[in-house]
Amino acid sequence: MSASSPLFLGETQVGQTVRVLALELEPDFVEWLRAVGIHEGERVTVLRRALFGGPIHVRTGSGGEFALNRQLARSIRVAHLEPEVRA
Amino acid sequence: MSAPPSPEPSFDEKTMAREEPSSRAPKLSRPEHDASCHGPQGRDEVREARGKPLVALVGRPNSGKSSLYNAVTGARAHVGNFPGITVDILEADLTLPGGIDVSMADLPGFYTLESVIDPATDEGIARRVLDRALEEERRLLVVQVIDATQLALGLRLTRELAARPFRLLVVVSQCDILEGQGRALDKAALSDSIGAPVLAVSARDPQTSAKVREAAARALEANDPLREKPAWEPDALARKVVSDVASASAAARRRRELTARADRWLLHPLLGPVLFLGLMALVFAAVFLVADPTTNALDAGIGALGSRVSKLLGGGLLGSFVSDGLLGGAGTVLAFMPQIVILTVAMELLEASGYLARGAFLVDRLLRLLGLSGRSFVPLLMGHACAVPAISATRIVRDPRERLTTILVLPLMTCSARIPTYALVLTTFFPAGNALFKACIFVGLYFAGILSGLVASLVLRRTATRGRTLPLVLEMPAYRAPQPRVIARQSMSAALRFLREIGTSILAASAILWVLLTIPAPGASSRIEPQDAATSAASSASASSSTSTEPARTLVLERSVGAMVGRALEPLTSPVGFDWRINAGLIGSFGARELMVSTMGIIYGIEDVSDDPAPLSTRMRTTKKLDGSPAYTVRTGLALLAFFLFACQCMSTVAAIRRETKSIRWPAFVLAYTYAIAYAAALIVYQVSGFLGVG
């Protein structure tokens, strides 16, 4: 687990696995996203990005796959982890 | 675009916000609802006095909840009556083993009860239903459906539910898939940890319904729960209760690889959108190929019934009212049915297979430019067949403001009912145009509809529906094989609900229009202008297929209130090239666009105009003004096309908007803005084409 300088989920590369550090959103959104399965400490692997700044497709450590729009992804602070062994 | 109804309409609070802002308050977690304050005994005494026990089916979206609801309730579902909840919640009456009569309600899929972002979202609605049941001290069993393959995610909601003062039953679905992955669930350990009974079911198990009913009966009979704040963590618990029984399972790996491989193609940045659009094109081809003959058969059947009724009741007013007014209206409603069924089947298939979320992913960026999200794509697309089911389909849009925007722009999409009118106008005014030319016009009209919808949503998001947008989080479910039985049942219930809810307003509108176009206006006989009388006389003489009643019908219409209104509107519509006949046709088609053709047919005394608009188009082309110049020219045709492109000439759509927004303000707004654009567009087209010297 090699934590590097913090970055946002919107800036990560496809195939990277990151850990969510913080959600820079209004508190009720943060709580709602926690219930959905995206919260501090959760491991997230970026599977793909849609073209032209479209949503990013991620898999969370709890087993869910989600598409998050870029605006949202730019509000999620993350730190790098080693890439997942199995896609 | 006309101005929004008010400078700052707050959609949340005034329309879909479904009355009380108090739903933001976390009622369910109030201490007075805690079981510690109500002894089991005390509650037993009150509960018998209340209504039937409520079995509420809850779960995350895509958890398999609706499949389970369908399996357990069969065809008995009806729209439940939940005071203060304005979204339809399906409910069914059941008798559980032991003779307990209950109501089972299928609540919208939601993620949390604690963090309700907005009372109009699915979370807010679900919480209100549960709140209400607790307030009424109704016996309440919450059945949570969890997808076994995403146990950790489902258990987050379980943890919230387990802290609440109601009985809880957890149904773990998709256990067959879990087994296929080479894993097994320890039900007993799960049940011990969460303190509620757990039932494991598989989609294809015919015993599912019986098992759920039995478990529900047992859970309802159990003592009231004594809840404490759950101490377990969802992720850790999921890891504890699911074990790999065959860790080297080839099936598990194959399934994962299949989904990944499918996504590699279906979500490919370039190929993905092409495949998605191709699939959508196929769906629409199916709608037109299958719906058209069915619609024609229905039309023919209703026509035959109408003439039989006419014969039975005589040619008088009553006969006309029943055959033209009521049966004509019923025909309009029934003509939508094949499309609705086909679209519902297609959309259910896409949804159940997990592909619909992928489609939204692919087109999200495009729609975001316009203030919408990928979720709006499907309703907008469905709007091309018929706005009515599309307006219901906007329920998949989570964001209330985005949903309202989608509803408001849907009437601009080129629905299939516009096609007969376009065809009539094209046949009438462009008789020389070949098939390619007409096809190009049709494609142009479709694109104009899409473009206007996009521009309208852009404007609305900055005016009438501006406000906070919820973050887009689209769950990408695993690919699954849809269950034909569930899809058949969903389609049937969509068709029946459409019939019941929209049918009534269509019938009422048809009856009113019949009155408008039949009842003579005071002093009407003296109002017929010389050229009108000449036209009708000529038309009845020249039409080879005329029957003796046609001139009479034509005269009736010419003297009707509708014709009077048509004449009164002439000063307004002559700048766009419309005369009283077209105005009367527009009044006639207010109920449904395709009625333009038949109303014009009646004006010109032609029967069966829907089957062959050729005689009508000839008659319209040869109609002359007093000075001998043609009454209608290519310019009139272009102006009519422009008008029909934008005007919300559809009572069913208006009724559907009323139903979904629970307000008359939004349907009124839709009528106002679409007619304003339609008139402006027709005016520009008529005047500019005149300026350019178009004949």
DSSP secondary structure of B113-135: SS--S-TTSHHHHHHHHHHHHHH
Point out the residue among B234, B267, B374 whose CB comes nearest to the CB of A48. B267
For chain B, list residues whose CB is within 8 angstroms of any CB belonging to chain A: 111-112, 114-117, 123, 149-153, 156-157, 160, 234-235, 238, 260, 263, 267, 269-270, 273, 357, 360-362, 364-365, 368, 373-374, 470-478
Contact A68 B473 (CB under 8 A): yes
Contact A67 B235 (CB under 8 A): no
pLDDT, tens digit (0-9, with 9 covering 90-100), for B296-313: 787 778 778 877 887 887
How close B474 gets to chain A, by Cα (Å)?
Answer: 5
Q: Which of A24, A51, A56, A86 to mutate to test the interface with B (most CBs of B within 10 A)?
A: A51
Per-residue pLDDT of chain A (87 residues; tens, 9 = 90+): 444 556 888 888 888 899 999 888 888 888 888 888 888 888 899 998 888 888 899 988 877 788 998 888 888 999 887 654 544
| pTM > 0.90 | no
pLDDT at B565 over 80: yes
- Give the mean pLDDT of chain A: 82
B169: number of Cβ within 10 Å: 22
Q: Which of B115, B268, B275 to mutate to test the interface with A (most CBs of A within 10 A)?
A: B115
In chain B, the N- to C-terminal Cα span, in Å, equals 29
Which candidate, A85, A82, A78, places its Cα nearest to that of A39?
Answer: A78
pLDDT, tens digit (0-9, with 9 covering 90-100), for B51-98: 788 899 999 887 888 888 888 887 666 766 666 666 678 888 888 888
- Give the mean pLDDT of chain B: 76
Contact B365 A47 (CB under 8 A): no
Q: Which of B358, B365, B367, B377 to mutate to test the interface with A (most CBs of A within 10 A)?
A: B365
Nearest 5 degrees, angle CA B590-CA B594-CA B599?
A: 70
Q: How many CB pairs under 8 A join A and B?
A: 115
Q: How much is the ipTM here? A: 0.85
User: Concatenated DSSP letters for B383-435?
Assistant: TTT-HHHHHHHGGG--SHHHHHHHHHHGGGS--TTHHHHHHHHHHHH-TT--H
Handedness of CA B316, B317, B320, B323 (dihedral sign): negative
Virtual CA dihedral for A82, A83, A86, A87, nearest 10 degrees?
150
Q: In what order do the strands lie in the sheet with A65-68?
A: A7-8, A76-81, A17-23, A43-49, A56-60, A65-68, B473-475
Residue of B nearest to A33 (CA): B473
What secondary structure letter does DSSP report for B526?
Answer: G
Please state, in angstroms and rounded to a whole number, the distance separating the CA atoms of residues B19 and B132: 14
How confident is the model at residue B128, as a pLDDT? 87
Contact B51, B133 (CB under 8 A): no
Which candidate, B143, B142, B203, B206, places its Cα nearest to that of B173?
Answer: B203
Please state, in angstroms and rounded to a whole number, the distance separating the CA atoms of residues B56 and B63: 15
Please state, in angstroms and rounded to a whole number, the distance separating the CA atoms of residues B185 and B198: 11
pLDDT at B220 over 60: yes
Tokens of B345: 């089947």
Contact B149 A52 (CB under 8 A): no
Instruction: Give counts: helices (H), strands (E), chain B.
Output: 30, 10
Please report residues of B whose CB lies closer than 8 A to that of A63.
Answer: 149-153
